[in-house]
Amino acid sequence: MPGSIVLASGAGIERGVVVGEIVDGRYEITGVLGAGGMGEVLAGYDTVLDRPVAVKRIAVRQFASRADLVDEFVARFRREARVTARIRHHGVPQVFDAVLDARADSVYLVMEHIDGVTLRDYLAEIGELPVGWAVAVAAQIATVLSYAHVLPVVHRDLKPANIVVAHDGTVKVIDFGIAALLDGSTGRITRTGSVLGTAAYMPPELVNGQEAGPRADLYALGCVMHEMFSGRRVFEARSEFDTHNRHLSDPPTPLRTLRRDVPAPIEQLVLELLAKDPARRPSSAQLVYERLLPFLPAPGAPEDPASRTHPDPTRLFRRPNPPAEIVVEPLPPKPSHELPAAGLSEAAARYRELFALGRAAQAVDVLLGVVDQAEQRFGADSPQLGDLHRDIATALEHSGEQRRALVQWQRVEAIEEPTGTRGRRARVAAIGCRAALGELTAAAAVDELYRMLGEIRSADNEFGDDALLVRLALAEHLPAAGDHARAARFVARLRDDLAVLRPPDDAMRRKIEALAAELRC
């Protein structure tokens, strides 16, 4: 399956995006996720909140050539962005920001980045879906539409390319408001001769140029459901014109003539959704959901074998609101080429630059992009690889991702000599991560650190760098273990030793002095 989503489809975009470009002084463009008739969907990074985002770029002058039309387009863009942001449901990517560039050449919609695949790609690979999966996708879409239609917001271009199945099985409906953006009351912004929407999923009323209401989305949902259950579009033709005519006049093929295991009530529901007259379709998306409900898997139901290789849309119903799963992330597959030394140096420099700017999550991604190549070049037990894992772990801790940091520290421990400085630092950091994750109680963390300190004292003394590192970790964990007086004595002694051993501006000394102030030593 593809590893990242494509948030738009089609062709004819206006290029010109530069990787590294900063939008609105905040969003760094890091790549292109997809392309569509309206523009590009870009991979971005929010430099303020240290997180990836998706940035939909729409080239204004591709749709509005005159100054008055530009103003109208921008006003409509802002309005549609606000309306879309009001759809509060996990099945709609959250809208973070709406930006007009300084020259009014482009508008940008900054959104939640989704890790998943479009239903279009999903169907291209699987074909017809297991019945339970198709019902689960349809039910999730119906839920999203119910939240949108209450506002009311009509999608107008619901199709598999605008539906994303995230890796956790959650279904997302994207591009709300985009069709409305191009279909203003004056109609002047639409490109000459174009029909808004996609022919294979277009309701008859839109083909006839009539107003699109909520039931237009339900017709498109019927088209999508037909395709999920049968593996084929409801109407196929040699041209868009012929496809439009089939939507206007041809009856759809009942699903059970194409696939016998489709339940009869599902077949009937799809036929009603595909009614030519909107008044004969179900009255609401909520009603569609209610009719799908009996066919959804019950909590605790076994998973389909296909879930081992593809995102499972039934998971939301089989395991409602599940707790977070602990997943050890595998390293990416090894490439066939070696990493040039200059490439590693550039990655390390970029990491340091980003980390200094407080963009730790992005710094992690830079090193993750080269770590496996570094292993191939330098070897699995090399100091260079250990340094990479250490830097990744440090940035992950700064991002608050203790679970992923622990994995990296454990990889450093596996590489480095256990009694060497690098190995001991990794062990101390791993103890800290395990305590933060609740895998170790504060008392257990203190016991492990005291054992380390004993090992160091037997081989060296308590004033060397390794010993001071462990003593600092003990000073940080002892207060949480519950013996305040013991912690205060330990911290006071370490503070006095550091006053002799380290200069006033030393980071370790500043840290222990701050801790001593908290404990009032």
Residue 305: burial class (beta carbons within 10 Å; 0-12, 13-18, 19+):
exposed
Question: Given this model, what pLDDT does residue 245 score?
Answer: 92
pLDDT at 325 over 70: no
Question: Given this model, what pLDDT does residue 302 score?
Answer: 87
Residues forming beta bridges with residue 117, ordered by sequence position: 165
Sheet holding 27-36: strands in order across? 22-23, 27-36, 39-46, 51-59, 106-112, 95-100
Spans of all domains in the chain: 22-112, 116-185+197-301+311-318, 339-440, 442-521
331 band by pLDDT with thresholds 50, 70 and 90: very low
Q: What is the mean pLDDT of the chain?
A: 85
pLDDT in tens, 182-210: 554 333 334 334 455 689 999 999 898 88
* Token pair recorded at residue 285: 């998306």
3-state secondary structure of 35: strand
Question: Given this model, what pLDDT does residue 193 score?
Answer: 40
Alpha helix stretches (DSSP H) within 460-506: 465-481, 484-501
Question: Is residue 139 a contact partner of residue 87, using CB atoms and an 8 Å limit?
Answer: no
Comparing 102-111, 282-291, 495-504, the range with the smallest average pLDDT is 102-111
Q: What is the CATH number of domain 22-112?
A: 3.30.200.20
Question: Given this model, what pLDDT does residue 324 score?
Answer: 67
- The pLDDT of 447-475, averaged and rounded, is 90
pLDDT in tens, 131-170: 999 999 999 999 999 999 988 888 989 999 999 999 999 9
Q: What is the rounded distance in angstroms from the CA atom of residue 178 to the CA atom of residue 58?
A: 10
Question: Given this model, what pLDDT does residue 7 score?
Answer: 36
- The pLDDT of 270-276, averaged and rounded, is 98
Active-site residues, by number, are: 157
Question: Is residue 232 a contact partner of residue 258, using CB atoms and an 8 Å limit?
Answer: yes
pLDDT at 320 over 80: yes
Q: Does domain 339-440 have CATH number 3.90.850.10?
A: no
pTM of the model: 0.75
Q: What kind of architecture, by CATH, is found in domain 116-185+197-301+311-318?
A: Orthogonal Bundle (1.10)
| Higher-pLDDT residue of 352, 75 | 352
